[in-house]
Structures are given as structure tokens and as C-alpha cells.
Structure 1
């Protein structure tokens, strides 16, 4: 059996192997470092104890007696921190005028009726709210007119649909 790694020679002999060269010399180890010695601790500084504090150079202040409390206010005057009597309320707003304006957005007929009653009461009593009553009346009348127009339109639309004959019963 022949080895495939060995080159074949014409005579079938194996060629001679050359000798191995000698190894180079090993480098020398450096000299060992001297052992580590920590530095010496510094010497503690010499401190002197602090001197005793000196006595204050001034005398303690003398306080005067507190002042007497103020006398109560005379009759009719307000003491400090108290609120004066409430100012009298001005003329109030007529309730029906408010109802007229609010109901104008929902039921126009109620707005018209309460608006007229509110104007009458405002003339007699001098209350505030005349503008609210007038606004309720205007919006009430506008709502009433729009409502009447819608009712007439629906009546005409149903009458036209009935006369057209689009709906029959057998």
C-alpha cells in the first residue's frame, strides 16, 4: 500500500528528510522588581483648642409694656373686620317676564300670554324685566306665525295627496 502524501520517486524510494534546525535561545527574564512599600502616613497637624467666647458687649434690651386694647367702637360704627349692613336690594326682575322669554323657545302661546301679563305688572310695580317680556313676546309671535304656516302647509299637502288618488282602498 502506498501513502498518498509521500511523493513518488522514480526508484520508489522515499527522499531523505533534512535535519531540524536548533531552537533559538530563550530571552532572559528581567530582574525582579523590588517589593511594594506603601508611603508613610503624614503626621497629624497640631491644633490648639479654640478660645472661650467673649461676653457680649451690650446689655439686654428692655421691652415696654404692650399697649392697651382699643376701646370698642361707638354705637353705629363698624368694628374692624366686620362687614357693614347689606345694601338694600334694587328693584327685582319680574318673574313672568323671565317665564315669557324661556317659554318662547318651547310653547309660543304661553310666551305671548305671560309676556303681556308681565308688561302690565311692570307698568304698575316698576319692576325690572321689560326687555325680557318684550323679547318673549317677539319670539312668541314669531313662533306662532311659523307654527300656523306649518299647519297650513301640512293641510295643503294632505289635501293634495288625497285628491291625487295615490292611496286607494279596496
Structure 2
């Protein structure tokens, strides 16, 4: 379901300016699960899209003040109803992980795909989100053979002490059951 330039055909395409080329010779081998909601705990708005496209009015909500000047993106966002929005082609480097390391290899953005689930660190995710995430993950594993079940992790695991997402509300056991 991916086209030749790394776009997921089932996703709504929204172009983020916050990406660049992956380093030469680097293959995609990691999937990082994140969560996001803007403002925190509020769902369905345009603020995530605005953040990832550089159009967020950081004065529109008190909690957005720290986001001023932030250049961040993910490859995809999975909304509460399971809809997928793609901001960066999978063959490009999205800016989702920040300072990070997986199994001793730093700079996870270089070799990973970042998927955001609309939610918070404390809330549970919807069945529709798990279904969409599972379908997308299966496709990514098919298209990127180095991406295996053992190379799927949370943002909290690659940036411990700095990040806590996808949080305690993400049911890893359930997700891996769905993948099997």
C-alpha cells in the first residue's frame, strides 16, 4: 500500500516542511510510537496539523507557548477514529525523536519511522487506533524488511527521562497480539 516515494495510500497527505534526507546508506529499521494532543487531552482539532506544518498560533493557548519556533514532525498521526494523516514520506527523515538512542545507536530519526497516536500519556487509546496502527505497521514491516517486531518501541524507550509517550495507556501486549 506504499507508493514508490514512501506514501501510504490509505492516509490523508499533509506536507510538513520539517524533514530532510536520511543519511546515505542508512536503512529504515525502527518504528517509534508516540502520542500527541493539542491542547493536551483535547482531540479532533487542527492544532497537530498546524504544529507539523509550521502554522500553529502559539498565542492561541497558554500551553502552546513552549512550542514557539519548534520544528517537529512525524511520519504519520493516527486520530482517535483511526484516520491516518501522513506528514512526511517514509523514505525521508521526519523530526520526531530528538536526542535519542536505540540499542546503543544514537540519532533515531536517521533510521526510524515515527507514528503519533492522538492521545495522552495517561489515557487509553481507541480500538480504531490500534486497528489502523496494526495495519500500517504490517505494511511497513513488509516494505522495510529490517523493521521487525523487536524493533518497535516507544518514544519513552529511546529518550528515557526526557519523554514518557506513548505512556501507560498504550497496551503493548494487545498491540503485539494484533500484529501476530
Short-chain TM bin: under 0.3
Higher helix residue share: 1
Greater percentage in strand = 2
Higher relative contact order (CA 8 A, sep 6+): 2
Larger-Rg structure: 1
Provide the TM-score with structure 2 as the length reference.
0.20
Q: TM-score, normalized by length of structure 1? A: 0.21
